[in-house]
Amino acid sequence: MNALSSEFTQFLRAAKAATYAGQGDEASVTPALQDSKQLEHRAGAFLYRDIYVGLVQFVGQEIVYLNNRAIWSMSYSGGLIGKEQSASFKPVYAFLRQALLSAPPEFPVRGPASLQAEQMLYTCTTEGSLEGFHGVERITQSGSLVYELRFNGGSLA
């Protein structure tokens, strides 16, 4: 089986929905790194692990294992823009979760190219494929940039 098969893509989409994007509290496990948050989802021979530190500004890494061997990873870094945003992060991150749950089925790395709700607009620009990619996602609120994240990753197999 090709490590990045449709089975992998379906697993990745389900794992993201069961963890941060879906606020999956049951996915939280004791973190391996001090001051970090660790989320995991397992299905069959696949294991998804997301480890990140920070809240207003954060950095993290997602890793997918197949039969206990790392086959895919994505690193990310970003957060809220401007000091005034730290007090109002909940609505921005709630909208971010909504965008992440709307990820394209064939490329469930982050959210869709764009999503709008009320005063917020989510955009995601990505280059590459699941085998190797990089991109940036942004959220604007009433036309002002309030959140930005950069990510990159790909196959390890």
State pLDDT tens for residues 136-148. Answer: 999 999 999 999 9
26 has a pLDDT exceeding 50: yes
All residues at 6 or more sequence positions from 130 whose CB lies less than 8 Å from its CB, including other chains: 4, 8, 9, 72, 107, 109, 154, 155
Torsion on CA atoms 89, 120, 132, 151, rounded to nearest 10: -30
Residue 37: half-sphere exposure toward Cβ, Cα within 13 Å: 16
pLDDT band for position 22 (50/70/90)? low
For residue 152, pLDDT beyond 90: yes
On the question of pLDDT at 20 being above 90, the answer is no
pLDDT score, position 2: 54
Provide the 3-class DSSP secondary structure of residue 103.
coil
Give me the torsion for CA of 80, 83, 85, 90, rounded to 10°: 70
Range scoring the smallest mean pLDDT among 27-36, 90-99, 119-128: 27-36
Q: Which tens digits make up the pLDDT trace of 97-133?
A: 999 999 999 999 999 999 999 999 999 999 999 999 9
Q: What is the pLDDT of residues 44-85, one digit of tens each?
A: 999 999 999 998 999 999 999 999 999 999 999 999 998 666
Q: Which residue shows structure tokens 């990310």?
A: 76
pLDDT of 88 above 90: no
Note the pLDDT of residue 1.
Answer: 41
